[in-house]
Structure 1
């Protein structure tokens, strides 16, 4: 297996942990077990925005998808769909932020709309990652050359630790989330 596939998979696991965490917290609010912590929810959305949207997806587009586009006709419609989802990422995260702001403003009456928007966002992210892992990865393994992988690996190795971002620039945000979030999501 190539290093970049391992890194992408690790980044997916890191994102999945954050997505599961925010879902767990929202479910706790819905069940009345947790009070809303808007700063925590904002920080989690910021992490989801900064790491996948700003670090992970651009490298998939620029390296993995670009190389696979040259090698596999079968991959083209899948790549086009995934790239469109990447282009919609900023609008989707902004809609999620806006729904959180509306919830904060409206109080408990605003929770249902936020929770619905969160569920839509989470479902789309899970589907997106599954498409990459179950459709793109096998095609990439079958079609890409050693030279292709060398270039892709170099780009993804620059991502460093998926929890912290390139050169640790997101370590503070991640630590903040872990320390604020209640167990079992975090240490708070």
Structure 2
């Protein structure tokens, strides 16, 4: 696998860990095992907003998708769908934040709306990541050339730690999430 595809895959794993943790917390609330921690939810949504939406997706659009679009007409419909999903990412995050705010204000009566928003967001992200890895990656490996990979690798190597952000600016946020989330999601009190 090419360096940049390995980095994208690692970034997907980082996002998947956060999404899995979010789902486990919501499931724990639904089953009455844990109480909601609205501050933790806000931090998790902030991480999802800052790292994938602001760092990861723009690089895919500007480098991987742009180069692949030129080399592989077959990939264009998938690229257009994925780029459209990237464009609505901010609105999807705002909807998740609004659902969390409604839950916090309404108490248990607002939980179902938050739970539905979380499930919808996570399911869409899984479909999105799977399309990239199972549809785009093979075409990129087949059709992109050495000069394409050099440019793409340079862009993605600028953020070689998907847990912390390009300049380490999200490392503290990720650490806070891990330290306050209850087990098995994090290291916090259960």
TM-score range, shorter chain: over 0.9
TM, length-normalised to structure 1: 0.99
Number of equivalences: 188
Distance 1:36 1:25 in 2: 8
1:43-74 deviation per Cα after TM superposition (whole angstroms, max 9, x unaligned):
00000000000000000000000000000011
Deviation at 1:2, TM superposition (A): 1.1
Q: Which moved more, 1:99-108 or 1:160-169?
A: 160-169
CA RMSD in angstroms comes to: 0.4
Match in the other structure for 1:143:
143
Q: Indicate conservation of the 8 Å contact 1:160/1:167, yes or no.
A: no
What does 1:42-53 align with in structure 2 at a 5 Å threshold?
A: 42-53=42-53
Match in the other structure for 2:178:
178
Match in the other structure for 1:121:
121
Deviation at 1:94, TM superposition (A): 0.2
**1:97 counterpart = 2:100:** no
Match in the other structure for 2:25:
25
Deviation at 1:24, TM superposition (A): 0.2
Distance 2:119 2:175 in 1: 25
Deviation at 1:160, TM superposition (A): 2.4
**1:7 counterpart = 2:7:** yes
Q: Indicate conservation of the 8 Å contact 1:65/1:79, yes or no.
A: yes
Gaps of 5+ in 1: none
**1:131 counterpart = 2:131:** yes
Residue aligned with 1:167, SS = coil
Q: Indicate conservation of the 8 Å contact 1:164/1:170, yes or no.
A: yes
Distance 1:122 1:7 in 2: 21
Distance 1:172 1:79 in 2: 33
Residue aligned with 1:79, SS = helix
Q: Indicate conservation of the 8 Å contact 1:29/1:36, yes or no.
A: yes
1:105-160 deviation per Cα after TM superposition (whole angstroms, max 9, x unaligned):
00011000110011100000000000000000000000000000000000000012
Distance 1:148 1:34 in 2: 48
Moved over 6 A (4+): none
